[in-house]
Structure 1
Amino acid sequence: MAVCSIIEASMTYTKEDGYVGKVQFSVEGHVNQYEMTLHSRKATEWGYGLFFLNESGNEEQLLELEEELEENDELFDQLVEAAKDKLVRL
């Protein structure tokens, strides 16, 4: 299981856009840091995008992390919760 350290997180809510969040984090053993963007209309089903944070990096590690996020609900929920903890309603 990947061990993540949250660098920064944020989330906003508007009636028009729903919930839009962002989590910046590092993963133990990975050279690069990541950013995950989140979107949900009702804060139940989450769509996301996973990107390198500062510069392009090891594509293989990114794909491994993406696979883990798909299979590991606990890890995914940890990142979603980090963003939800910073929720600002606009």
Structure 2
Amino acid sequence: MNITILSKSVTQDEDENYRGQVVFEVEGHKQPYEITLLTKRGKMWDYSLSFANESGTEEEIFAVEKAIEEDDELFDQLIDAIDDALESQE
């Protein structure tokens, strides 16, 4: 699945918990997506996926969700975007 990162941001609290948002487009999909990534001390990442602007089709968001679950490179690309956002804040 080919994605293009449109924007990225991250916040960190005093306990070293991170909350990042990445807005991205998927090649062939009509609407962009926003993924919110959460971690406690950078160990395990949880996420929430939604449409960034207007709603798209269930089939498209389910396909993206499945790809995130099954494609480690795709998930790593989204985590790398959060890392980049964090580095740009320093």
Q: Normalising to structure 1: TM-score of the pair?
A: 0.91
Percent identical: 43
Structure 2 residues without counterparts, runs of 5 or longer? none
Matches of residues 12-51 of structure 1 in structure 2 within 5 Å?
12-16=11-15, 18-51=17-50
Deviates more, 1:36-45 or 1:13-22: 13-22
Structure 1 residues without counterparts, runs of 5 or longer? none
Could you tell me which residue of structure 2 aligns to residue 75 of structure 1? 74
Shift of 1:17: 6.6
- More contact order relative to length (CA 8 Å, sep ≥ 6): 1
CA RMSD between the two structures:
1.3
Runs of 4+ in 1 over 2 A off after TM superposition: none
Q: Normalising to structure 2: TM-score of the pair?
A: 0.91
